[in-house]
Structure 1
């Protein structure tokens, strides 16, 4: 199963992971956000619905995706552009959009703020 982890990681953590990958250490598939707030702002409920429909479904047109999520093509197009810009979705050569994963794991920790 091809799983991606959506999570929160600091620049330092990403740099360490990149260095480990360059040494040949397997890192898995990650899409990282700088803060939990940015992850949640980006992955709105409507965009999460898009990911749910695209997980394991292969590349498709925006029109087909809009049909599957039951939304207006223009609004889906707007959400797809956001997801493309942050690297969550990919564009195929023929213009279709894809999410090349069979499963999604979301990982971040909420910690108490210092008083």
Structure 2
């Protein structure tokens, strides 16, 4: 059973503000990690980081060494990837180790033009 889903999304400040106001009124919004640009989200979710997240799903807190062995990579590069995921709010790190603080992660974003195209 998936107890909690965190959505990684790209959202404008206006959309985030609207969600915040709705939450302040008591309307459930779910759990979000919001990025201002699709490129920021894409930079975070490298192939190696996705492998780390998939490997850790449902396992609770693990040490960096355990994670490195699971994904068959060196501890220093895994530490760098873990730190990026912790900094983004996708993972939690404490005295017990590192863990994905949800049952599933949903990635949700649109890629669209920011300005009208000039076609001659």
Work out which of the residue numbers 54, 57, 75 in structure 2 matches 1:55: 57
Distance in 1, Cα, partners of 2:12 & 2:21:
14
SS in 1 for 2:60: coil
Query: Aligned residue pairs: how many?
Result: 114
Distance in 1, Cα, partners of 2:13 & 2:96:
32
Note the C-alpha offset of 1:95.
4.6
1:37 aligns with 2:39: yes
Note the C-alpha offset of 1:55.
2.1
Structural RMSD (CA) = 1.4
Bigger radius of gyration, 1 or 2? 2
Note the C-alpha offset of 1:112.
4.0
- Give the match for residue 112 of structure 2: 111
SS in 1 for 2:90: coil
- Spell out, residue by residue over 1:69-94, the C-alpha distance to the aligned partner (whole angstroms, 9 max, x if none): 111011100111111112111112x1
Q: TM-score, normalised by structure 1?
A: 0.90
Q: Structure 1: any 5+ residue segments left out of the alignment?
A: none
